[in-house]
Amino acid sequence: MNEIPLSHILFISTALFFIGMYGFFTRRNMITILMSIELILNSVNINFVAFNKYLFPQNLDGVFFTIFIISIAAAEAAVAIAIIINLYRSLHSVDVNETSELKF
């Protein structure tokens, strides 16, 4: 059986990274923006695991890094959602276009 080449996996992760970036810049809903950031972080996770398995299987640096990224992403999302809830109390919306009190 043929093994899947590394380039296929890197293609997926890079695509995921740019989809996340596109979502971050175009979406107007704050929760969706947060989801786009998760996409970026997950593309990084795929990269780390793939590099670790294909190129450097002798030690587990990449896998450990992935575990830390997942847990920190959870902490980040928790703080961000808490802030969104607090903002919702005064704004009654989760649309980023409404956060326009500060500009220029």
Partner 1 sequence: MLNDFFILMKQELVLLAILFILLIIKVGNDWSNERLLNVINALLLINVVAGFIMPAEGALFGDMFKTNGLITLEKNILNVGTLIISLQSYSWLKNHKHLSEFYMLMLSTLLGMFYMLSSGNLLMFYLGLELSSIPLAAMANFDLEKRKSSEAAIKFILSSAFSSGLLLFGVSLLYGTTGTLSFTEITPHLTNAPLQIFAFVLILAGFSFKISVVPFHFWTADVYEGSPVAVTSYLSVISKGAVLFVFVSILYTVFKPLADVWYNMLFLLSVLTIVIGNLFAIRQDNFKRFLAFSSIAQVGFILVGISGSSPLGTASVIYFVLIYIFSNLGAFGVVSIVSALTGKENISDYKAFYKTNPLLSWVLTIALFSLAGVPPTAGFFGKFFLLIAGAEQGNYVLISIAALNMVISFYYYLRIVKSIFMDPNEQPIEKLTVPWMPKLALFLCLAGIVVIGLWSTIYEYIYSLSIGL
**Footprint of partner 1 on this chain (CB under 8 A)?**
17, 20, 24, 30, 33-34, 37, 40-41, 43-44, 47-48, 51, 55-56, 61-62, 64-65, 68-69, 72, 75-76, 79-80, 82-84, 86-87, 90-91, 99, 101-103
| CB contact set of 45 (below 8 Å; sequence gap of 6+) | 66, 69, 70
CB atoms < 10 A from the CB of 87, how many? 15
Give the nearest distance from C-beta 90 to partner 1 in angstroms.
4
Give the nearest distance from C-beta 12 to partner 1 in angstroms.
13
Cβ atoms of 65 and 48 within 8 Å: the answer is yes
From CA 48, how far away is CA 13, in angstroms rounded?
10
Cβ atoms of 27 and 36 within 8 Å: the answer is yes
- Of 1 and 75, the one with the shorter C-beta distance to partner 1 is 75
Give the nearest distance from C-beta 48 to partner 1 in angstroms.
5
- Of 1 and 86, the one with the shorter C-beta distance to partner 1 is 86
